Amino acid sequence: MYAVVKTGGKQYKVAEGDVLNVEKLDVEPGKKVDLDVLLLSNGDKIVTEADALAKAKVTAKVVEHFKDKKVIIFKFKKRKGYRRKRGHRQNLTRLEIVKVSG
């Protein structure tokens, strides 16, 4: 059984026991969080109706908060002496999918 969930403006395909990194959630490590379900599949049957998905539930446990590796942004225009170098590190949350029920 798997589900497609939405969090942080992105969609993820998850099953029980999966570990995924999502944009930072304001939940303390060790706590559980429910995710919005967009699609639910049980092998041969796929559920996409809104009323059925309202009853579906994906529960995840927050494992840790961390920062992703640095992404370098370098802007350059030739022969103009224009160079800009910036860096960015995204704050992420690691989730472990505990239960997918529908």
Q: Is residue 85 part of a domain?
A: no
pLDDT for residue 9: 94
Domain-located, residue 26? yes
**Two tokens at 79?**
């022969």
Is residue 52 included in any domain, yes or no? yes
Distance between CA atoms of residues 14 and 100, nearest Å: 9
**Quick one: pLDDT at residue 85?**
98
Write down the pLDDT at residue 77: 98
Residue 15 in any domain: the answer is yes
Show pLDDT as tens, one digit a residue, over the chain (102 residues). Answer: 899 999 999 999 999 999 999 999 999 999 999 999 999 998 889 989 898 899 999 999 999 999 999 999 999 999 999 999 999 999 999 999 999 987
The domain in which residue 31 lies consists of 2-65+96-101
Q: Is residue 87 part of a domain?
A: no
- What's the structural domain count of the chain? 1
> What pLDDT sits at residue 65?
97
CB neighbour list of residue 51: distance below 8 Å, 6 or more residues apart = none
Q: Three-state DSSP class for 91?
A: strand
> What six digits make up the tokens of 58?
């994906």
Question: Pairing state of beta strands 71-77 and 32-42?
Answer: unpaired
What is the spatial distance between Cα 24 and Cα 91, in angstroms, rounded to a whole number?
6
Asked whether residue 41 is assigned to any structural domain, the reply reads: yes
Beta strands in 48-90 (DSSP E): 57-67, 71-77, 82-88
Taking the mean position of all CA atoms in its chain, how far away is CA 31? Answer: 16
Residue 83 lies in a domain: no
